[in-house]
Structure 1
Amino acid sequence: MEGEPEPNSQLKDSTDAELSKIRLMRAFVEARDPSSKEVDDLMIRRFLRARDLDVEKASAMFLKYLKWKRSFVPNGYISPSEIAEDIAHDKMFVQGVDKKGRPIAIAFAAKHFQSKNGPEGFKRYVVFALEKLCSRMPPGQEKFLAIADVKGWGYANSDLRGYLNSLSILQDCYPERLGKLFIVHAPYMFMKVWKIVYPFIDDNTKRKIVFVENKKLKSTLLEEIDESQLPEIYGGQMPLVPIQDS
């Protein structure tokens, strides 16, 4: 179609097996949900990779995602006015890119509290954040890097339902978007909750999570992020920018 990139340029790093599975899956999902025609091959490939190239499983996951998106994000985007409570807590920031060109997000777990209005608002905030990160990815980049800073975290922040909801949205609706997650300043109490959450994390995601020791914090982050792009609070040069302003 006119205006569309050549499939090969978009998928130049795909294996032959992936290319044939992408064609199979596209035919399958377009027959069941015509809105599938609007998504690019990269999205189809992300869902396939999330299900180890199993076309049937990836298609079921993808069709479920399309249904979710229509009901949960009917306008195609989340407006900041819908998530004012979460934005007011200033708990997430986005600025700079790592050495691979992946946008960097920083989340402060001690600034998150269970919403008085139930879990829907936080779910919308998570979608808002993920969409922001995806919109900041340069051409050829599909992933982001995140730093979860758990300093000062306590039981008041222990929103287990919120954590599981956000994990579910990330894994089921934005597969293959997380490139790496550094968890820093994790207190002992947080590890108790982590043990509850851990079994719900799929194996692909588990491989991307790194707990960083305090004494190795800057050196570990510098392996992935240049000093000019590293947030000031971790010894770099990049000021924090609230996600709604990024």
Structure 2
Amino acid sequence: MEEKDHTNINGKDNTAEQHKLCLMRALVEHRDPSAKEADDLMLRRFLRARDLNVEKAATMFLKYLKWKRTFLPKGFVSEDEIEYDLSQNKICLGGQDKQGRPIVVAFAGRHYQSSKPGGLDEFKRTFLPVFLHFPSSATFDSNIILIPDGQEKFLAIGDLQGWGYSNSDVRGYLGFISVLQDYYPERLGKLFIVHAPRVFMAVWKVVYPFIDENTKAKIQFVEKQHIKSKLLEDIDESQLPDIYGGKLQLVPVQDA
């Protein structure tokens, strides 16, 4: 299943989409005046996530605004809010793929469910710097990745090396999926899952039904012997993380 393309051959918004975008803007600004702060790129992502259905996209975007006021009252994520998760170095940054999308590597084998109060919310916030550094969004104290103009998506590698039942945080995984799909739609360009052990598939069967069809189409499991060759289809060797046979060294997100 290929990712849907809502643009014409020149890469410009088609007339129908632009008309619906105008309708959506009028609708959300009427219902929530703070929507005026959102630019067309942001609104368009929500519109595309709902297959250009204006009412559904507006409802989704208004839900996002309400969530953001509660979950991100400062408009950004500070390091002290995600100190526990940052200490595990579970999220690292690479270079850019052939489309100019930043590369994010998440090491699931380094993730352990926090027992402290608010641990689930902290885990959700840990990924927000990845979503927030693009245009139209607040940042993680500063711009952590240089993004080409007009680029809105990222490529992710989910590395399950060393993953075991002690890393099995189903509530955390479902929380991440909810944030990605409900509040930052059309950000994920592609997700490669590598080094997946057989025991992980039991958890995957629980999580999979909660992933929407558009997101499922962007997920690929890669066998160990094909990791380098598969990643090189999307990433130049100079930008491929060295742990996968490339030449670029990964950097923990907090050190980027």
What TM-score bracket applies, with the shorter chain setting the length? over 0.9
How far is the alpha carbon of 1:232 from its aligned partner?
Answer: 0.4
Contact 1:91–1:111 (Cα < 8 Å) also in 2: yes
TM-score with structure 1 length normalisation? Answer: 0.93
Partners of 1:133 and 1:149 lie apart in 2 by 23
Q: Which residues in structure 2 correspond to 1:66-215 (within 5 Å)?
A: 66-117=65-116, 118-132=119-133, 136=145, 137-215=147-225
Partners of 1:228 and 1:151 lie apart in 2 by 23
Corresponding position of 1:235: 245
TM-score with structure 2 length normalisation? Answer: 0.89
How far is the alpha carbon of 1:19 from its aligned partner?
Answer: 0.2
Q: State percent identity of aligned pairs.
A: 62
Change in CA separation of 1:216 and 1:96 when aligned onto 2, cut-off 3 Å: same
Partners of 1:147 and 1:173 lie apart in 2 by 21
How far is the alpha carbon of 1:12 from its aligned partner?
Answer: 5.5
Partners of 1:20 and 1:130 lie apart in 2 by 27
SS at match of 1:186: coil
Corresponding position of 2:12: 13
User: Which amino acid is the alignment partner of residue 237 of structure 1?
Assistant: K
Bigger drift between 13-22 and 143-152 goes to 13-22
Partners of 2:71 and 2:165 lie apart in 1 by 29
Contact 2:92–2:106 (Cα < 8 Å) also in 1: yes
Note the residue ranges of structure 2 that are not aligned, 5 or more in a row. Answer: 1-9, 136-142
Partners of 1:150 and 1:244 lie apart in 2 by 21
Cα displacement string for residues 81-125 of structure 1 (whole angstroms, at most 9, x for unaligned residues): 111100000001012000000000000000001011231111121
Note the residue ranges of structure 1 that are not aligned, 5 or more in a row. Answer: 1-10
The structure with the greater share of residues assigned to helix is 1
Change in CA separation of 1:31 and 1:12 when aligned onto 2, cut-off 3 Å: farther
Partners of 1:65 and 1:74 lie apart in 2 by 13
Change in CA separation of 1:133 and 1:84 when aligned onto 2, cut-off 3 Å: farther
How far is the alpha carbon of 1:193 from its aligned partner?
Answer: 0.5
- Provide the aligned length of Structure 1 versus Structure 2: 236
Corresponding position of 2:139: none
Please give the root-mean-square deviation of Cα atoms over the aligned residues, in Å: 1.3
How far is the alpha carbon of 1:63 from its aligned partner?
Answer: 0.1
Bigger drift between 11-20 and 101-110 goes to 11-20
How far is the alpha carbon of 1:54 from its aligned partner?
Answer: 0.4
Partners of 1:127 and 1:48 lie apart in 2 by 21
Corresponding position of 1:3: none
